[in-house]
Structure 1
């Protein structure tokens, strides 16, 4: 039987809590130990978990491990995707790349920069929108800062179209979509329109860093 409370990195096994054969009682301190180790493996020895980020990591960890009781306290629906928002350099992308490793038994997702998707549209046209409207799971990174797509002289709000496709996929097949963004709700609505913004509410849980969080790249 697979024990979801244990994760092996090389020769070392890390415990995330206790497994009784049916469910896991997760230990947040143990989760943080594992995330620190995995973060250094992914991003280099300078990676660390900041004390100021504990609360938001706690919310995100509860989401990923599907702790329904704690998710309910934070008004997070584990069946929807995540929209992680915050200022430039606060660590959104790193966390979305990192936290999926807490649940290797769950369906993985790929983290794709939105600007790369817009550039792909410029070369391939509407095939790009079809490609990202498929049944795979994605985290769209830096939503809202991508340029407008242009293919053979026709402009297209590429990510807006993809989000509409992902919304249909979510309703029909319960396939999640995640995203990170520097923008607030009004800025996203101004960029993608009321229709897309309305569907984003159904598609995503909004989890936000504090506005004053420091830029960790400095």
Structure 2
């Protein structure tokens, strides 16, 4: 077990993102931002940077990932639910959901899977894919809502909708969280997946949203 998860080694550089007091780690948000920018450059290239206008979003996400229960309550974030990170194309949703688990190396890490890849797998392998992603594992479904309708042996299926219903059952039984990113707003998600799935999503996820005006950082 890692007894110093607040001290992270990247090559020859050591980042201390908090201080230990007894059995508790007191995290330091500015130091976390320094580490996240450095790790982002390693993962995504030297042009990666943390934008000041995104720091409010990052603060919420960091508080959630480090499981600061008191601050989560103040921010109306349920640490037992997953994260639904929404925002316009290119605002950095996928990068952040790849990056943030690195601040908590002692916790179980989610696998980030594009929703469209799951649908492609369904088209080839059928309903086993819904079982594979719906009944087990710790996932972040990336770009939820842009995937096509699944089709296997001539039968159409709203693959991600079915998986989300299964993940809801999994959440109730085993408290296993689910994360997702999406470009769609609440009404678009309801149009895409139906009222029943949208209702389950409210119970599955904390909504964390970028501003509609967030710039495309890929330009």
How far did residue 67 of structure 1 move? 1.1
1:100 is the counterpart of 2:98: no
Match of 1:156 in 2: 157
How far did residue 9 of structure 1 move? 1.2
The superposition leaves residues 66-119 of structure 1 with CA deviations (integer Å, 9 ceiling, x where unpaired) of 112221222101111000000000000000000011111111001100000010
Match of 2:87 in 1: 86
Conserved? CA contact 1:81–1:178, under 8 Å: yes
Gaps in structure 1 of 5+ consecutive residues: none
How far did residue 3 of structure 1 move? 1.2
Structure 2 residue matching 1:18: 3-state secondary structure: strand
Query: How far apart are the structure 2 equivalents of 1:97 and 1:143?
Result: 15
Q: TM-score, normalised by structure 2?
A: 0.97
Match of 1:185 in 2: 186
Query: How far apart are the structure 2 equivalents of 1:20 and 1:189?
Result: 45
Match of 2:123 in 1: 122
Match of 2:206 in 1: 205
Match of 1:51 in 2: 52
Match of 1:23 in 2: 24
1:140 is the counterpart of 2:141: yes
Query: How far apart are the structure 1 equivalents of 2:183 and 2:7?
Result: 34
Root-mean-square deviation (CA, aligned residues, Å) is 0.9
How far did residue 4 of structure 1 move? 2.0
How far did residue 11 of structure 1 move? 2.4
Query: How far apart are the structure 2 equivalents of 1:185 and 1:37?
Result: 33
Match of 1:35 in 2: 36
Query: How far apart are the structure 2 equivalents of 1:23 and 1:124?
Result: 46
Structure 2 residue matching 1:106: 3-state secondary structure: coil
Count matched residues: 218
Query: How far apart are the structure 2 equivalents of 1:149 and 1:135?
Result: 20
How far did residue 43 of structure 1 move? 0.5
Q: TM-score, normalised by structure 1?
A: 0.98
Query: How far apart are the structure 2 equivalents of 1:152 and 1:30?
Result: 53
The superposition leaves residues 20-72 of structure 1 with CA deviations (integer Å, 9 ceiling, x where unpaired) of 23111111110001101110111111111011111100110000001122212
